[in-house]
Amino acid sequence: MKNKYVANHLLNRDGNYYFVRRVPNDLKNLYAVKRLCFSLKTKSYSSAIRMIKSVSQRLEDYWFGIRLQNMNVPAMHLIKTDSDNDNGPNIIDALQLYLKLKGVNKNKTFLRTAHRNVEYIIKVLGNKSIQSYSSLEAGKFRDWLIEQGMSNSTVKRVFSSVRAIINLSISEHGLNIVNPFSKVYLPSIDNELRMSIPMDKIRLIHGYCKQMNDEPRWLISLLSDSGMRLSEALGLAKEDIKLDEPIPYIRLIPHPWRRLKTRSSQRYIPLVGEALWACKRILEHNDDSIFAFPRYTSINQCNANSASAALNKWLKSKLIDDYVIHGFRHSFRDRLRAVECPSDIIDQLGGWSLKSVGQGYGKGYKLSILGKWMKNIEY
C-alpha cells in the first residue's frame, strides 16, 4: 500500500489526524453514512500513516469477506458445512473452552498469546474441527512459522500453546483422538541460542542498519552493542534513554507494558558504539510517542514475538548462516570476555543472574566502571 494512497485517507483537523474513506458503492446498504470518518487519536504524521495502513487493510479484508458471501457461486448448495457433518469442536471452540477453564485470573499476556496462536492456525489451516487437522497439516503449520522468521524457541512456544488448547478440548469432550500437533518434529533450540555472531558479521549488519536508518534497524543496532534481551529493548520508554549525562546510558526498569525477567535485569547500561547511535536517532525522531519503539510497543503490550519474527527474517536475508537476534547477546558476552572483563561486571552489564551469594551484596559497580569496560570491547 503506497504512502500516496494511504495519505489520501488522512484528514488533519486541529492538529489531530482522522481516517476518512468513501464507502464502496456495492456496500452502501451496510452503512448509515456515505463516508467513514473517525479519529486516529494521534498528532504524529508518521504514526498516523502506520495506523492508516493497518485500518485500511482490515477494512479491505472485511469487505472482501462480505463480497465473497454475496457471490453467486455455482453449486453452492452442494458444499458441505459443519451442520452437515458434526465433527465436534473446532479450533475456536477449543480456544473459548481453554480460556474459560484456564484463563481465570491469568494476565493479559496469557490471553493475548492464546488468541494469537489460534489466529496463526486459522490463517494457515483454517478454522476446522480439531479432529480434522492432520499431522501433515501440523507440519505445514510449523514450516509456515519458520518461514515468518520465528526463532526455534518461538516456534516451540507456539506449538506448546496450541497443544495445550487442543488437549484440553479432547479431554473435556471425551474424544478418542491423538492431538495432531503433539508428534510434529520441532527444530532444536540449543544451537540457535548458543550461536554467537562474529564481529565481522556484526559490522556488516551495522552497515546495513546505517543505510536503512529506520526503527527496526535502530532496534538491531541497540541490541548489538548493549547486550540487552529483545523484550528489554522493545519496552524502553524514551525517558529511559539518558544522553545528556557525562556517560550516556540506558536505565532499564520495569514498566506496566513490559516486565523484566529477573531482579538482576534491572540495571544501567552505558551506551557505546552503534547502541549510542541508535539511541540518538530514537530521540531525534519526530514522533510524539512515549515509547522508544512504538511499532512494537503500546501502553497495553510489548509485542516481542512479532518483532523477533520480523528481525530474524531480515537478519537471515543479510547473513547466509542461521543467526538470530538473540545471538547478539551471546556475542556481547564473548566480546567482554575477550578483554578479560571480570565475570561479575559481565553479569551486571547483561542482567544475568548472579552466580554466588556474595555477588548479591552491595549496590554493584558504578556507571563509570561499567563504562570503562564497555569502551574496551571490540566494535
Average pLDDT of span 45-55: 81
For residues 378 and 224, the answer to whether their CB atoms sit within 8 Å is no
Tell me: pLDDT of 212 over 60: yes
Return the percentage of the chain with pLDDT > 90, whole number: 45
Q: Is residue 83 part of a domain?
A: no
Grid cell, residue 220, equals 538491531
Q: Is residue 86 part of a domain?
A: no
Q: Which helix (H) or strand (E) holds 127?
A: none
255 and 154 together in one domain? no
Q: Is residue 158 part of a domain?
A: yes
- Residue at a domain's end among 78, 111, 144: 78
Task: Calculate the CA 226 to chain-centre distance.
Answer: 19
168 and 199 together in one domain? no
Residues ≥6 apart with Cβ < 8 Å to 298: 257, 291
| Whole-angstrom distance, CA of residue 100 vs CA of residue 60 | 32
| Whole-angstrom distance, CA of residue 106 vs CA of residue 116 | 16
Q: What is the CATH number of the domain that holds 137?
A: 1.10.150.130
71 and 126 together in one domain? no
Q: Is residue 289 part of a domain?
A: yes
216 and 120 together in one domain? no
288 and 139 together in one domain? no
Q: How many CB atoms lie within 10 A of CB 235?
A: 27
User: What does DSSP assign to residue 285?
Assistant: S
| Count of helix runs (H) and strand runs (E) in the chain | 15, 6
pLDDT at residue 286, rounded to an integer: 65
Structural domain harbouring 17: 3-78
Task: Calculate the CA 350 to chain-centre distance.
Answer: 21
Average pLDDT of span 262-290: 91
Q: Is residue 84 part of a domain?
A: no
| Whole-angstrom distance, CA of residue 109 vs CA of residue 103 | 11
- Residue at a domain's end among 23, 51, 78: 78
178 and 228 together in one domain? no
245 and 346 together in one domain? yes
For residues 268 and 250, the answer to whether their CB atoms sit within 8 Å is yes
pLDDT at residue 82, rounded to an integer: 45
pLDDT, one tens digit per residue, over 333-375 is 999 999 999 999 999 999 987 655 445 545 789 999 999 999 9
Q: Is residue 217 part of a domain?
A: yes
Q: Is residue 118 part of a domain?
A: yes
11, burial (CB in 10 Å: exposed 0-12, middle 13-18, buried 19+)? middle
177 and 203 together in one domain? no
27 and 171 together in one domain? no
Q: Is residue 361 part of a domain?
A: yes
For residues 270 and 247, the answer to whether their CB atoms sit within 8 Å is yes
Mean pLDDT, the chain, whole residue set: 84
24 and 168 together in one domain? no
For residues 52 and 40, the answer to whether their CB atoms sit within 8 Å is yes
Q: What is the CATH number of the domain that holds 278?
A: 1.10.443.10
User: What does DSSP assign to residue 172?
Assistant: H
98 and 148 together in one domain? yes
Is the model more confident about 64 or about 234?
Answer: 234
Residue position matching grid coordinates 559497580: 365
pLDDT at residue 210, rounded to an integer: 94
138 and 18 together in one domain? no
pTM summary value: 0.59
- Residue at a domain's end among 78, 101, 124: 78
pLDDT at residue 52, rounded to an integer: 82
Is the model more confident about 82 or about 119?
Answer: 119
Grid cell, residue 156, equals 516451540
pLDDT, one tens digit per residue, over 156-203 is 999 999 999 999 999 999 999 999 999 898 877 554 445 789 999 999
Number of domains in the chain: 3
pLDDT at residue 268, rounded to an integer: 95
| Whole-angstrom distance, CA of residue 169 vs CA of residue 100 | 11
pLDDT at residue 234, rounded to an integer: 94
